[in-house]
Amino acid sequence: MNNFQFKNPTKILFGKNQIENLTNETPKNAKILLLYGGGSIKKNGIYNQVIKALSNFEVIEFGGIPANPEYEVLMDALKIIKKENITFLLAVGGGSVIDGTKFLAAAALYKGEEPWNILKNNERVFKGLPFGTVLTLPATGSEMNSGAVITRKETKEKFAMGGPGLFPQFSILDPQVVASIPQRQIANGLADAFTHVLEQYMTYPVNGLLQDRLAESILQTLIEVAPKIMKDTTDYDAAANFMWSCTLALNGLIQQGVPSDWAIHMIGHELTALYGIDHARTLAIITESHYTLNFEDKKEKLAQYAERVWNVTEGTAEEKAKAGIEKTTAFFQSLGIKTKLSEYTKDYKGTAELISKRFEERGWKGLGEHGKVTPNDVEKIVKMSY
Ligand code: NZQ
Ligand code: ZN
């Protein structure tokens, strides 16, 4: 097992009716900017619960943060933060609203010229404006990690950022919010969390016995709850297990002491930036090709995954490893997610070359757990995903 240091300061309030605890968790005398997305919280009652809990606070609102939060929109919120001397941010939404809030937490205290540089140069953020979250969509794990991904529409770029200053102070996880989530987003949440675990697991063995089993147990739980929550979003137990699995998939715990990959995400972000494909779906497009091209490096873990997660008992280690890849694609498809780029856009030709060129220009010359997936390999992976 590799050495590690681990600190996660986010307080989680999990369960039914936890939103009322906002009253106690929010710092006294805070001047709050309440941030939300396209308005789903006004239809499902979450907004009313939040406003009630904050009735004794000074609250200003900023709605309209789009899925794949846009820099241009967030810069309007930044003006309000500065003009109104906001002291606390509250994100009420899914990964997009929470990520947008993290960017704002960093941008509010940024001393440099243009906040876009935080993203462009991936400047680590050690201090941000304090913020909390009310999670409305289990998927990204953003509610308990310190990362964010922001899009710039005019240049079709999507960059990640983060740092120890960007953990939420608290996150409220009430599984009852799952009831109003459309099926497309439930499927996305399952696929995104599943891939988060894979990115931190499907590498090479380092005798991280517990980390492997933690990862496998999250995958198995997602597989078990997937049909239940897809069928009935009001199934509280399924929703609770789904939600907590998504959080644990990316709160930093399972990646300690083991290598991680993240190439699928880095390539996937380009597909969202270029074509607007939902984040989780881009991962489903890339996973099989990435594992197929890098089969030699990953086959031991692939075989272990096939055996332990999918109960594949027949065949050689290589055959099991291949079965593991097939099972993964079949899982995405069982959620109604298409796994080829050409099923999302007719204009896919040239995508592989374009992404490879972007990576080359950005100096992203070696992705993956070994740092050896070159832009040329990325081109091959994307072509295999057409
Ligand atoms: O905008 P509203 O009206 O709120 O509607 C949203 C949105 O249309 C809707 N929704 C959310 N909760 C709902 C609901 N509809 C009904 N009932 C509810 N309770 O769902 C739609 C999608 O929301 P979004 O926040 O975009 O989804 P998700 O949570 O999947 O977030 C995706 C974003 O997170 C980034 C992705 O790149 C993408 O930009 N990621 C963030 C990560 C992180 N910070 O750690 C890691 C991930 O890998 C990912 O990259
Ligand atoms: Zn993801």
> What CATH number corresponds to the domain at position 213?
1.20.1090.10
Judge if 206 and 354 occupy the same domain.
yes
List pocket residues of ligand 1, CB cut-off 6 Å.
37-41, 44, 67-68, 93-97, 99, 136-137, 139-142, 145, 147-149, 177, 180-182, 185, 188, 192, 250, 265, 279
Contact between residue 141 and residue 242 where contact means Cβ atoms under 8 Å apart: no
Judge if 309 and 265 occupy the same domain.
yes
> For all residues of the chain together, what is the average pLDDT?
97
Per-residue pLDDT, averaged over 285-292, amounts to: 98
Please report the pLDDT score of residue 91 as a whole number: 98
Residue 15 lies in a domain: yes
Q: How confident is the model at residue 187 (pLDDT cuts 50, 70, 90)?
A: very high
Residue 110 lies in a domain: yes
Per-residue pLDDT, averaged over 15-34, amounts to: 97
Establish how many alpha carbons lie within 13 A of residue 221's alpha carbon, considering only the half-sphere containing its beta carbon: 21
Judge if 154 and 256 occupy the same domain.
no
Name which residue sits closest to atom 42 of ligand 1, judged by CA.
140
Q: For the whole model, what pTM was predicted?
A: 0.98
C-alpha 238/C-alpha 175 separation (Å) is 9
* Sign of the dihedral defined by the CA atoms of residues 135, 198, 331, 273, in that order: positive
Helices and strands in the chain: count of H runs, count of E runs: 15, 8
Residue 4 lies in a domain: no
Judge if 168 and 307 occupy the same domain.
no
Please report the pLDDT score of residue 381 as a whole number: 98
Residue 6 lies in a domain: no
Judge if 209 and 264 occupy the same domain.
yes
Q: How confident is the model at residue 100 (pLDDT cuts 50, 70, 90)?
A: very high
Per-residue pLDDT, averaged over 209-228, amounts to: 98
Per-residue pLDDT, averaged over 367-385, amounts to: 98
Please report the pLDDT score of residue 211 as a whole number: 98
Judge if 295 and 240 occupy the same domain.
yes
The bound ligand whose nearest atom lies closest to the alpha carbon of 101 is: 1
Name which residue sits closest to atom 15 of ligand 1, judged by CA.
181
* pLDDT tens readout for residues 225-267: 999 999 999 999 999 999 999 999 999 999 999 999 999 999 9
Per-residue pLDDT, averaged over 268-289, amounts to: 97
Helix (H) or strand (E) holding 46: helix 46-53
Of ligand 1's listed atoms, the one at least distance from the Cα of 39 is 3
Angle at 331 (CA atoms; ends 174, 261), nearest 5 degrees: 80
Instruction: Provide, rounded to the nearest whole percent, the portion of the chain with pLDDT above 90.
Output: 100
Q: Which of 123, 145, 176 is the last residue of a domain?
A: 176
For residue 268, which phi and psi values (nearest 5 degrees)? -60, -40
Ligand 1 centre distance from Cα of residue 38 (Å): 11
The bound ligand whose nearest atom lies closest to the alpha carbon of 96 is: 1
CATH number assigned to the domain comprising residue 23: 3.40.50.1970
Please report the pLDDT score of residue 356 as a whole number: 98
Instruction: Provide, rounded to the nearest whole percent, the portion of the chain with pLDDT above 70.
Output: 100
> Which residues are in the CB-under-5-Å shell of ion ligand 2?
192
For residue 141, which phi and psi values (nearest 5 degrees)? 80, 0
Please report the pLDDT score of residue 293 as a whole number: 98
Please report the pLDDT score of residue 374 as a whole number: 98
Ligand 1 centre distance from Cα of residue 35 (Å): 13
Residue 227: Cβ within 10 Å count:
12
Ligand 2 centre distance from Cα of residue 31 (Å): 32
| Helix runs in the chain, H state only | 22-25, 40-43, 46-53, 71-83, 95-108, 116-120, 183-199, 209-231, 236-249, 263-275, 279-293, 295-310, 317-334, 351-362, 375-384
Residue 191 lies in a domain: yes
The total of structural domains in the chain comes to 2
Mutate to test the pocket of ligand 1, among 19, 73, 97, 99 (most ligand atoms within 8 A of CB): 99
Judge if 77 and 154 occupy the same domain.
yes
Per-residue pLDDT, averaged over 358-372, amounts to: 97
Of ligand 1's listed atoms, the one at least distance from the Cα of 162 is 44
Residue 54 lies in a domain: yes
Name which residue sits closest to atom 45 of ligand 1, judged by CA.
142
Q: Which of 139, 160, 176 is the last residue of a domain?
A: 176
Token pair 């991936």: residue: 122
Q: How high is the ipTM of this complex?
A: 0.99
Name which residue sits closest to atom 18 of ligand 1, judged by CA.
181
Per-residue pLDDT, averaged over 78-94, amounts to: 98
Residue 273 lies in a domain: yes
Q: How confident is the model at residue 192 (pLDDT cuts 50, 70, 90)?
A: very high
Judge if 155 and 197 occupy the same domain.
no
Q: Which of 176, 194, 217 is the last residue of a domain?
A: 176
Of ligand 1's listed atoms, the one at least distance from the Cα of 178 is 19
Ligand 1 centre distance from Cα of residue 308 (Å): 30
Closest by alpha carbon to 177, among 168, 165, 185?
Answer: 185
Judge if 248 and 137 occupy the same domain.
no
Please report the pLDDT score of residue 244 as a whole number: 98
Judge if 275 and 132 occupy the same domain.
no
Contact between residue 44 and residue 177 where contact means Cβ atoms under 8 Å apart: yes
Name which residue sits closest to atom 17 of ligand 1, judged by CA.
181
Domain residue limits at 133: 11-176
Ligand 1 centre distance from Cα of residue 210 (Å): 30
Judge if 366 and 263 occupy the same domain.
yes
Per-residue pLDDT, averaged over 119-144, amounts to: 97
Judge if 172 and 192 occupy the same domain.
no
Residue 3 lies in a domain: no
